[in-house]
């Protein structure tokens, strides 16, 4: 197992099981640059709903996406699986040409439930194995008191799934720890909270309407979305934008062709001087996911919409 995880930036605790492969961010700027074959540009399936799911996933593969990000909690893995099969058939690709990620949901953290969670995802996706399987959130539910489930036991069960060949990589989610240990990170919602699901609290202006982004995009001959995605890939993270519109899917796929200058990165960095946390289910789950990081101004207050079960 060369790499533990392809991971997202909002949750907690990564445990490294093997030595990691160092990344050189300067080299991570085009498809298909990888960490053990992980494309930097992926296609996300969160909030992808019928009747578009199957056709959209198939089209993503036809456009050129080779990294598809899935999860049991998204409630659409069966439709995604049909899209994978259709996309492979229409492109003539083989299963091993794709990197497929899925995630263990909170209600399957009990050690005896991990295998079932993985096998359910495999069944719905129509696959024999995953390229990566990791914990979606560091919060257990559905098996008695959440505090009675020890993460190490969950992890040990995930290791068994790796040893059985059901997943080629495993992981948990956190960010700063990754950088210190050269573990690759996937940045979900790379276009900054355009998702209407994140509806609580005051929201800043959508990133894609930013005058800074538009000015850079116009100067470099790119779209604002391509600028944002290239920024993410240029710092060494994989990005997984989602769209049901073919023209946007194609545009996002070609984000690596958007050449940004050093001064562009300085301007983009200023956009994040005061960040906004879009996805914080601490209140709903009664778990301090960001303990000590909640702001008094309400920008990072816990949301109530995201249910644990």
Count of CA atoms in the C-beta half-sphere (13 A) of 290: 20
Q: How far apart are CA 40 and CA 6, in angstroms?
A: 10
Question: Cα angle vertex 70, ends 60, 12, to 5°?
Answer: 135
Asked if 133 is an active-site residue, the reply is no
Tell whether 136 is in a known binding site: yes
Provide the greatest CA pair distance for the chain.
Answer: 56
Q: Please name the residues in contact with 189: beta carbons below 8 A apart, sequence gap of 6 or more.
A: 195, 278, 279
In the structure encoding, which two tokens stand for residue 123, read together?
Answer: 């069944």
What are the distances in angstroms from CA 192 to CA 111, 138, 242, 271? Answer: 34, 22, 12, 11
Residue 171, φ and ψ in degrees, nearest 5: -175, 170
Catalytic residue among 65, 74, 133, 188: 74
Edge to edge, what strands does the sheet with 43-44 contain?
Answer: 43-44, 67-69, 99-104, 132-135, 170-171
CB 85 within 8 A of CB 111: no
Question: Cα angle vertex 267, ends 263, 268, to 5°?
Answer: 115
User: SS3 of 170, please?
Assistant: strand
Q: Which residues are annotated as part of the binding site for substrate? A: 136
Residue positions annotated with a catalytic role: 74
Q: Which residues are annotated as part of the binding site? A: 136
């Amino acid at each position: 197992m060369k790499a533990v995880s392809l991971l997202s930036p909002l949750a907690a605790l990564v445990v490294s099981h093997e030595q990691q492969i160092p990344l050189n961010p300067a080299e991570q700027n085009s498809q298909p640059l990888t960490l053990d074959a992980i494309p930097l540009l992926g296609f996300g399936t969160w909030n992808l709903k019928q009747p578009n799911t199957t056709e959209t996933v198939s089209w993503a593969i036809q456009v050129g996406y080779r990294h598809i990000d899935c999860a049991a909690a998204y409630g659409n893995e069966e439709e995604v699986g049909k899209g994978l099969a259709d996309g492979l058939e229409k492109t003539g690709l083989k299963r091993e040409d794709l990197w497929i990620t899925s995630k263990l949901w909170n209600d399957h953290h009990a050690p005896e439930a991990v295998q079932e969670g993985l096998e359910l995802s495999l069944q719905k996706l129509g696959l024999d194995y995953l390229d990566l399987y990791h914990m979606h959130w560091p919060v257990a539910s559905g098996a008695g008191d959440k505090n009675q489930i020890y993460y190490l036991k969950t992890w040990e069960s995930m290791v068994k799934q790796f040893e059985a060949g059901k997943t080629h990589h495993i992981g948990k989610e956190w960010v700063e720890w990754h950088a210190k240990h050269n573990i690759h990170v996937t940045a979900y919602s790379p276009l900054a909270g355009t998702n209407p699901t994140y509806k609580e609290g005051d929201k800043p202006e959508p990133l894609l309407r930013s005058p800074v982004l538009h000015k850079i995009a116009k100067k470099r001959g790119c779209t604002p979305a391509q600028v944002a995605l290239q920024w993410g890939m240029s710092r060494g993270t994989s990005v997984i934008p989602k769209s049901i519109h073919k023209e946007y899917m194609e545009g996002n796929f070609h984000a690596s062709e958007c050449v940004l200058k050093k001064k562009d990165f300085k301007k983009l960095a200023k956009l994040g001087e005061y960040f906004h946390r879009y996805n914080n289910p601490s209140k709903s789950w009664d778990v301090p996911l960001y303990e000590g990081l909640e702001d008094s101004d309400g920008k990072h207050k816990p949301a109530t919409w995201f249910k644990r079960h």
